Amino acid sequence: MIKVRFAPSPTGRIHLGNARTALANWLFAKANNGEFILRFDDTDFERSKQEYADGIEQDLKWLGISPDMITAQSKRFDLYDAARDELIAMGRLYPCYETGDELDRKRVRARAMGRPPIYDRAALLLSDEEKQKYENEGRKPHWRFKLDGEPVIFNDLVRGDQTVNISSMSDPVLIRGDGSYLYTLPSVVDDLDLGITHIIRGEDHVSNSGVQVEIFDALGGKAPIFAHHNLLSDAQGKGLSKRLGSLSLQGLREAGYEPMAVAIMATITGTSLPVEPVASLAELAKKFDFSIISRGPARYDEAELETLNARILHDMDYETAKPRLEKFDLEGEDLWLALRENLVKFDDIKDLAKLITGPIEPNIALDDKEFIEIAAKNLPPLPWDENTWGQWTSSLKSLTGRKGKNLFLPLRLAITGRKDGPELKSLLVLIGRKECLARLS
């Protein structure tokens, strides 16, 4: 069975780019009857917060993602400690005592000598006495994983064959001086323990994957299949940041976007598919495939999101809209059908409905006063239907000789106070004869 995980660190709310990763996992799992695990990578105690974890759960729920399992790394330290001990016993994890300053100096020296600033593995040469001496001085070791230096090759479902050149990397620190874990080792331990079959994440993780493949091997496991997708950038081509709160899902929700519009944008931007309405995540899952993802950057365009949002609303049926209309004390299929064409965001309905319910400020220019008087006098008698507008305006055309914009615009301005808006043919019936007459007068 396919098992995937979305593994945000709860150090802020997730943004559209994180949603891309979450959805790639979710859609792939759904299309294959697989399982989706939400795993909080919260080993950084200082920056991780429960409120962010709760918020991320809410954000996913809003998008339509309901994890099959939720877990957090902070609950799984026993597993990491066991893996740590195993790696130490095989000599793949070694203690280092350099301070940050010392490491900086080493890097500067390496660069000055024209060498790449790779960690020199001096700590591997320390004798037991030297280590003891550091410990006695009160220095706490950080722990590095000993890379074996061979290029790591793996097949990526998005990017094809990948070679990560491990020999140009420093042995990665897996455990900090204060004993806390960086994300690298816990992630591998969890992926093994939870039986993750596919790691689907952003392409900023490709070199991590190289390192992690070595750790999977060292721990006697098999690395999952990888799929690294391209990253979303903002309209200026800049990366999105959780810390800056750029394009957070929370912000997009508060701005009134439909979750489906956001999900489609997050998934489809930077792929070979057109950005267009899709009815549900289940439908989107049928279209989604790793082969659609482009290799170039995925540039998000807010105007595109607005257009998509509007298109989703223009197609929305009354049954779906009904419970949401109640919030504004609005009801009626005719009202919905007359107004939905003019929505960009759902809540625009509140102002648009005033065109029907009033109060509106009729706008009658001096030049049109006489024309509007004639219009009021010739308002057809009840009952009204969708032909009333046509009958009324053609009679006014023959009575006054006005046509086109000259005929229609003053009527619209008098009846709605605005120079554009929903079709008057439907509006007229909804406003009703009495109110129309009042506005024309």
What is the contact surface with ligand GLU in residues (CB under 6 A)?
Answer: 7-9, 41, 183, 187, 201, 205
CA-CA-CA-CA torsion sign (394, 400, 404, 405) = negative
Beta bridge partners of 152: 164
User: CB-based contacts of 387: which residues, under 8 Å, 6+ apart?
Assistant: none
CA-CA-CA-CA torsion sign (265, 270, 274, 278) = negative
**Shortest distance, position 201 Cβ to ligand GLU, whole Å:** 4
**Shortest distance, position 413 Cβ to ligand GLU, whole Å:** 54
Q: What is the DSSP string of 52-107?
A: HHHHHHHHHHHHT---SEEEEGGG-HHHHHHHHHHHHHTTSEEEE---HHHHHHHH
Which of 157, 153, 145 minimizes the C-alpha distance to 199?
157
Helix 433-440 and helix 369-377: axis angle, to 10°? 150
**Shortest distance, position 67 Cβ to ligand GLU, whole Å:** 14
311: left (phi over 0), alpha (psi -120 to 50) or beta: alpha
CA–centroid distance for 232 within its chain = 9
**Shortest distance, position 281 Cβ to ligand GLU, whole Å:** 20
SS3 373: helix
CB-wise, 25 or 388, nearer to ligand GLU?
A: 25
CB-wise, 50 or 394, nearer to ligand GLU?
A: 50
CB-wise, 99 or 241, nearer to ligand GLU?
A: 241
Residue nearest to ligand GLU (CB): 41
CB-wise, 9 or 388, nearer to ligand GLU?
A: 9
**Shortest distance, position 212 Cβ to ligand GLU, whole Å:** 8
CB-wise, 8 or 172, nearer to ligand GLU?
A: 8
**Shortest distance, position 325 Cβ to ligand GLU, whole Å:** 39
**Shortest distance, position 319 Cβ to ligand GLU, whole Å:** 39
SS3 310: helix
CB-wise, 175 or 353, nearer to ligand GLU?
A: 175
Answer whether 201's CB lies under 8 Å from 8's CB: no
User: CB-based contacts of 417: which residues, under 8 Å, 6+ apart?
Assistant: 355, 360, 361, 362, 363
**Shortest distance, position 9 Cβ to ligand GLU, whole Å:** 4
CB-wise, 92 or 201, nearer to ligand GLU?
A: 201
* Cα distance between residue 407 and residue 390, in whole Å: 12
CB-wise, 41 or 156, nearer to ligand GLU?
A: 41
Which of 188, 195, 201 minimizes the C-alpha distance to 227?
201
